[in-house]
């Protein structure tokens, strides 16, 4: 395991997902370049609710490109919406947790703005 994931993070981003690989890919393309600049402070925790599409392949491709930023779990069965959110939250080790839908996006520099706010307050 990448030692970067073993360090305590300020912010965990929890992303529950199910059969929405294309939406998740858009979100990860949006947020991971910002997270890479803040990798000492941020982790991305993705809980896949037993998707039958190519969600696993999408996430594993991003894990390879953005080493040390992503935690990924694929449930052994579908836990339902609430169960998958709880699973995503359980993966998080940050002081704060921000839950994203797999179809959400964040504005440019939005992640650094949130991190700065959390550090100052």
**The sheet that has 42-48: what strands, in order across it?**
70-74, 42-48, 11-17, 96-99
- Is residue 52 classed exposed, middle or buried when 0-12, 13-18 and 19+ CB atoms within 10 A define those classes? exposed
Q: What is the pTM of this model?
A: 0.93
Q: Which sign, positive or negative, has the C-alpha torsion 112, 36, 63, 71?
A: negative
Reading the chain (121 residues) residue by residue, the pLDDT tens digits are 455 555 789 999 999 999 999 999 999 999 999 999 999 999 999 999 999 999 999 999 999 999 999 999 999 999 999 999 999 999 999 999 999 999 999 999 999 999 999 999 9
The two tokens of residue 15 are: 């992303």
């Amino acid at each position: 395991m990448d030692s970067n994931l073993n360090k305590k993070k300020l912010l965990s981003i929890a992303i529950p997902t199910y059969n929405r690989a294309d939406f998740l890919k858009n979100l990860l393309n949006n947020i991971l370049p910002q997270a890479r600049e803040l990798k000492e402070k941020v982790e991305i925790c993705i809980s896949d609710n037993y998707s039958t599409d190519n969600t696993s392949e999408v996430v594993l491709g991003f894990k390879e490109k953005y080493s040390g930023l992503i935690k990924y779990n694929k449930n052994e069965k579908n836990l339902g919406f609430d169960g998958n959110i709880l699973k995503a939250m359980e993966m998080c080790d940050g002081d704060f947790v921000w839950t994203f839908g797999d179809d959400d996006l964040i504005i440019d520099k939005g992640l650094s703005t949130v991190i700065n706010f959390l550090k100052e307050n």
